[in-house]
Amino acid sequence: MGENCCGCLQVGQNVPDFTMDTYEPTDYGFATTSLEQLKKAGKWTVLVFYPADFTFVCSTELGDLADEYDNIKAAGAEVVTVSTDTVYTHLAWKREEKFLENAKYPMAADPTGAVSKLFGVYDYGTGLALRGTFIISPEGKLVASEVNFYNVGRSAKELLRKLKASVYVAAHPAEACPARWEAGDKTLTPGAKLVGKVYDALK
């Protein structure tokens, strides 16, 4: 599983362009998506890798993501879900699984594992992708990553929180967001006066 890790991306690095075929639930058709086109549109990119269509935890995760999709879009991002399945399998899964009935995000196919390998989530033992979530800025920089094993699902609400925090600090680079920060909460401005006084600054 770690055969590709020496070359996988790290937070803070620029992400090279990639292109994937997608199933588009909003018009029931096929298309392509690329990082370059999302950057040109000024979008933040949220990639959500998952092991496989027609599986169990994945169905709950993508349903959870569908519930938060409008809020993620409102924060300035596009979500692209990714597995090593084909776009035809995505279409069938979206049609059959009730958890996905409200899904509107592009569902990308990575059958060769090329993009999964780029982000270090490709499992060479199974040919599947681990549960990886990556937030990429409109400039193409990787600003957040999370990778879970097959049997632990993720929270779309926490993804939205991290996205909003990333958007905020990109616009306010002198500030930092503390644990459990939500939009409108106090932030931190690192400096000599803050050393040992973080608790006081947030009260």
Give the contacts of 189 (CB within 8 A, at least 6 positions apart). Answer: 174, 175, 176
Among 181, 178, 179, 147, residue whose Cα is nearest residue 164: 181
Sheet holding 44-49, edge to edge: 29-34, 19-24, 107-109, 77-83, 44-49, 131-136, 142-148
DSSP 33-101: EEHHHHHHTT-EEEEEE-S-TT-SHHHHHHHHHHHHHHHHHHTTEEEEEEESS-HHHHHHHHHH-GGGT
Which 3 state secondary structure label does DSSP give 166? helix
Question: 55: buried, middle or exposed (CB in 10 Å: 19+, 13-18, 0-12)?
Answer: middle
**Catalytic residue positions?**
58
Which 3 state secondary structure label does DSSP give 120? coil
